[in-house]
Structure 1
Amino acid sequence: MTALIDHTRLHRTAKYFMDSGRAATHGDAMDILHGFGASICVGPEAATSVAHQIALLTLVNLLRRTLLGGIEILGVPDAPLLVPLARAHSLAAAAVELGGALATAANPAWPVVQIGTVSPCSDGISWQLTWQGWRGGVVPQHDTRRLLDDEANPLAAAMAAAAAAAELFAWHAKDHPMAGRRSAGLSLWNPGSDWLAQDASEPPLSYLPCSLWLIGLGNLGQAFAWLLACLPYAERSKVDLTLQDYDVIADSNDSTSLLSSLPLVGAKKTRVVARWLEAAGFSTALEERRFGSWTVRGPHDPAVAFCGVDNAPTRADLGGAKFELVVEAGLGAGPGGFRNFSLHTFPSSRRPDQIWRREDVGSALDVSSMPAYSALRESGLDTCGLAQLASRTVGVPFVGLIAAGLAVSEPLRRLHGSGGVELASGSALNLDDIESIRLPFSAYAFGYLPAL
């Protein structure tokens, strides 16, 4: 069994325990993840609230890829599905489709997450999701602070779910002493500000971008798609999305990418994401080749691009494709940095090729001497396979969703009169400390549609 593990089959979160030395074998790392689980208690608001449904379904989708012990859901109302995040017609069926299991009592061994107005489900570790305007996060059970949980910007509910997933993982992994004892969240309108404080400058969400190019359809690219489907478009059929990727779904994508699953292994990422977006009502066009210096936007192509690739040479070429606006999101690597995220926008004070080198120098981190890799070597994995395995980064879906939330909010901020964010960086381990550089930008002039 161990000898069959390669870089395409590796669970990218299990790699955290392999790379840090906490797991002696790949099997031990998977056993650790199978010990992680959560109970989700859902209030009656989810029957009629788009934001509450987004919070629930986003949380289930994130957690089932990371907490392999199981996700049990209590109190889901018998209600129709109001958001196009699953193919099911009811909310309960959608939660099951995305990987949850319906239950009548909380598992006493697991922490609890509460969404909406519910009676305490457990005497143990518990969090409450809460959001308002462009701000979302979680507070622990002893914290009485609560936002309005309104419908102003549904991305705030998705960010609350991502913050909950980050705290749950940190609590299970025991790698942050404050997990379960602190609030955690962020503002998409003003990254780095106090997300629990009222912000009178937040506008209602009135305008949405209508034409976008998505470069890279892995962890980040699929998170872009998920969040676009959360936005309250009045007519999704009028939204044109160009999807660019050359790769196919691998087993390992199931652990990090929100639209991937094991039955889809071997399918082109472009076609998987296109089918999902088209089922949600969007119009798509496909570009099934690598992005590079040869890629040039045509006069009728989307002027705005989201980039979610994981290599420097591709990022360095972003400046030559003739996009009017590029929003680039990136994720950290290694056991110490996999929770990190960053955002760049272009044009800005520096060109992409001034930030990234076209020569890919690779990672300086060598984890091949860790016990788990020694065990793989002894089991018969050859040097090439071991090098490929060791070179893959640790990955978790909730960090990708947070980074994608900041990226998708960039055109939203500009559409609603805010200056742009040139650079932002932070960590899911400390969402209260997002650093950003904001500069005045001209008005967003690349097409928009009204929001519901």
Structure 2
Amino acid sequence: MNALIDHTRLHRTAKYFMDNGRAATHGDAMDILRGFGASIRVGPEAATSIAHQAALLTLVNLTRRTLLGGVEVLGVTDAPLLVPLARAHTLADAVAELGGTLAQSGNPLWPIVQIGTVPQAANNTAWSLTWERWRGGVVPQHDVRRLADDEANPLAAAVAAAAAAAELFAWHAKDHPMAGWRAAGLSLWNPGANWLAPDESEPPLSYLPSSVWLIGLGNLGQAFAWLLACLPYADRSKVELTLQDYDVIADSNDSTSLLSSLPLVGIKKTRVTAHWLEAAGFTTALEERRFGPWTLRGPHDPAVAFCGVDNAPTRADLGSAKFELVVEAGLGAGPGGFRNFSLHTFPASRRPDQIWRREDAGSAIDVSAMPAYSALRKSGLDTCGLAQLASRTVGVPFVGLIAAALAVSELLRRLHGAEGVETASGSALNLGDIACVRIPVSPYAFGHVPVR
């Protein structure tokens, strides 16, 4: 079985246990993930609330990719689907479409995540999602603090789901002693601030971007698309999204990327993402070449770009494509850094080619001596295949969603008169400690539409 594994078929979260030495084989790493599961309990609010549905469906989509033992959902009804995150017509069918299992009673061995008004869990590790305005996160059951769980900004609900997914994974992986015992969340309006504290500076969400270019459609790029669909657009057909990627969906994308699934393997990422966004009502255009110094924005193309690529040479070329604003998000690598994320915006005090030099491809952590790779070598994997496998980074979808939420919120913040963030960095292990460098910016002039 091990000989059949290559870099395109590797589960990117299983690689965490291969790289840190906990798993002796790839099969052992997958068995560890098959021991992870969650029970999601949903209150009646989800029948009529866009934010509650966004929280639930985001949580199901994130966790089914990392908790391979199963994600069961209790309390969901056949209420109409209010947010276009699935092709189903009812919330219950959307949960099933995204990989959740509808259940009547929960697995007593699994931790519980509660959304809305539900009976208190007994004898289990349990968290409650909570959000308000631009702030969202998760609190353990013993913590009585709660926010309003309002409809002001659905991205806050999606971030709450990502925080819950991060805590669930840390609890199962047993790699953070406070997982299950602490609150975790963030403010999209003021990253790094106390997300549970009221913030009178948060404005009502009134304006949304009307055109964006998405560069790279993997973990981050598909998270950008997911979050744009969460936003309360009045008419998505008036929103123009240019999608750029040259690659196809691989088996490994199923473990990290929110719009990917095994039946889509071999289809271009641009077309998968476009099909999903168009079904949600957006207008798309495709650019199926690599991004590079030959890429040039035309006068009628989106003036703003989100970038979610994972290599320095491509990032170095971001300044030459004639975008008026670029928001770049990046993810950490390796068994010690895969939960890290960063944000850059341009124009800024430094150009992209000053931050990422084209000749600097970075230095990967050498994990080839770990037992799982020795087992693959003995099973017949050749040196080239082993090197490709070892060079791939550990990946989890919840970190990509957190980074993408900060990027999408950068446009929303500027649309609502806030200062810009030039750089930001943080970790899903400590969402309350995000370091930001802020800069004054001109009023956002790159196209907007009102909220619904």
Q: Which residue of 2 aligns with 1:145?
A: 145
CA contact (8 A) 2:78 2:93 kept: no
Q: Find the aligned partners of 2:77 and 2:206 in 1 and give their Cα distance.
A: 29
Aligned counterparts of 1:64 and 1:197: Cα–Cα separation in 2: 31
Q: Structure 2 CA distance, aligned partners of 1:78 and 1:90? A: 5
Distance in 2 of aligned mates of 1:359 and 1:131: 43
1:84 corresponds to: 84
Moved over 3 A (4+): none
CA contact (8 A) 2:313 2:360 kept: yes
Question: Normalized against structure 1, the TM-score is what?
Answer: 0.99
1:413 aligns with 2:409: no
Q: How does 1:87-126 map to 2 (within 5 A)?
A: 87-126=87-126
Q: Secondary structure at the match of 2:368?
A: coil
Cross-structure match for 1:257: 257
SS of 1:124 mapped into structure 2: coil
Distance 1:369 1:438 in 2: 42
Report the secondary structure of 1:80's partner residue.
coil
Structure 1 residues 33-72: aligned runs within 5 Å: 33-72=33-72
Write the mapping of 1:326-405 to structure 2, written as runs, cut at 5 A. 326-405=326-405
For 1:50 and 1:377, the matched residues in 2 are separated by 50
CA distance in 2 between counterparts of 1:70 and 1:363 reads 36
Q: Please report how far the alpha carbon of residue 123 of structure 1 lies from its aligned counterpart in structure 2 after TM superposition.
A: 1.9
CA distance in 1, matches of 2:331, 2:13: 14
SS of the counterpart of 2:330?
Answer: strand
Show the counterpart of 1:190. 190
Q: 2:7 — aligned with what? A: 7
1:278 aligned counterpart, secondary structure: helix
Pairwise CA RMSD: 0.6
**How far apart are the structure 1 equivalents of 2:361 and 2:203?**
43
3-state SS of paired residue (2:198): coil
Deviations 1:87-145 (A, max 9, x none): 00000000010000011111111000000000023421000000000000000010000
Cα contact 1:112–1:122 (8 A) shared by 2: no
- Structure 2 unaligned blocks of 5 or more: none
- In the alignment, the residues of structure 2 paired with residue 151 and residue 81 of structure 1 have an alpha-carbon distance, to the nearest angstrom, of 15
Alignment of 1:432-451 (within 5 A): 432-451=432-451
Residue 163 of structure 1: aligned partner: 163
TM-score (norm 2): 0.99
Distance 1:361 1:48 in 2: 49
Counterpart amino acid of 2:14? A
**Cα offsets for 1:351-408 (capped at 9, x unmatched):** 0001001114342410000000000000000000000000000000000000000000
Q: Distance in 1 between matches of 2:88 and 2:361?
A: 45
Alignment match, 1:239: 239
Are the equivalent residues in 1 in contact too, given 2:25–2:372 (CA < 8 A)? yes
Is the 2:311–2:361 contact (alpha carbons within 8 Å) kept by the matching residues of 1? no
Match of 1:230 in 2: 230
Q: Distance in 2 between matches of 1:327 and 1:227?
A: 15
How far apart are 1:77 and its partner, in Å?
A: 2.5
Q: Secondary structure at the match of 1:40?
A: strand
Inter-partner Cα distance in structure 2 for 1:417 and 1:214: 23
- Give the match's secondary structure for 1:414: helix
Contact 2:364/2:391 (8 A) holds in 1: no
**Residue 18 (structure 1) aligned with residue 18 (structure 2):** yes
On the 8 A contact 1:341/1:427 being kept in 2, the answer is: yes
Q: Structure 1, residues 49-76: CA drift from partner, whole Å, max 9, x if none?
A: 0000000000000000000000000001
Fraction of identical pairs, as percent = 84
**8 Å contact from structure 1 (residues 34, 69) kept in 2:** yes
| Contact kept? 2:304, 2:325, Cα under 8 Å | yes
| 1:129 counterpart residue number | 129
Q: How many residues align?
A: 452
Which secondary structure state, in structure 1, belongs to the residue aligned with residue 378 of structure 2? helix
Q: Secondary structure at the match of 1:286?
A: strand
Equivalent residue letter for 2:219: N
